[in-house]
Amino acid sequence: GAQAVGMGKEALNVRAAAELFDKANDILGYDLLNLCIDGPKEKLNSTVISQPAIYVTSLAAVEVLRAREEGQSVINSVDVTCGLSLGEYTALAFAGAFSFEDGLKLVKLRGEAMQDASDAANSAMVSVIGLDSEKVQQLCDAANEDVDEKERVQIANFLCPGNYAVSGGVKGIEAVEAKAKSFKARMTVRLAVAGAFHTSFMQPAVSRLESALAATEIRSPRIPVISNVDAQPHSDPDTIKKILAQQVTSPVQWETTVTTLLGRGLEKSYELGPGKVIAGIIKRINKGASIENIGA
């Protein structure tokens, strides 16, 4: 949901960043930069488009950083990386686990497979703001008592204290929204995504992803990449393939990822790509954390 019309504009000023969009056009068969800059919003929000758009814009942001004075030395100094949901692919590409092109082909297929899985069932996602994870779980339990099994909801993104995303059937999500106030939630925000990502609703996407991953050359990352599934780094290419296939149906353990990094002495970080959601999350977990956003 980090996509926004106007993203990618900075890439026009940095040749290496603009070249990534040119390469993307050949792989995708449409003008991605044009869609990023001019929209329309409805098209950019479809997961088939937004996933390649965020992946390419985020790696273009790396090139924007590289073009800065001292930018290359900042990139050289990075000793760990991670990405939220789709961002895990960006992080793996940054860490050299696969090429830009191979990553984009995977992300294109991931978007298509997740869109098809979303089209097959009436599902959605909502952010619950102002509660701890235990309370959000209780809210999900209460909502699930009111709906059929196929409409059930679960926590899909553990983002930070006070911000957890819930995924499930539309009726279940509506029940969460209706009950949130009685659980003392500050508010709920529907997410601009196609369906119930990071739940069993995405199961139809898994086998397609597994086949594509099996045919992709993946190398050991040059620096640790923390996985969304278990908040651990993995260096074995086969394990990375397995984890990426599991990722679409597994909750995102982002809060654990960030607290682990901060606990291990993370001093300075950069959020690369559109929006400033990750910077906001890290500041929520640790007010004093140093993070700089670099968009493209």
Residue with tokens 């790396």: 62
Tokens of 28: 């995708």
Burial degree of 137 (CB within 10 A; 0-12, 13-18, 19+) = middle
Query: Which of these is catalytic: 198, 227, 250, 269?
Result: 198
Q: Are 31 and 39 in contact (CB under 8 A)?
A: no
Active site residue 85: yes
Query: Which of these is catalytic: 50, 58, 85, 250?
Result: 85
Active site residue 198: yes
Give the residue numbers annotated as catalytic, written as ranges: 85, 198
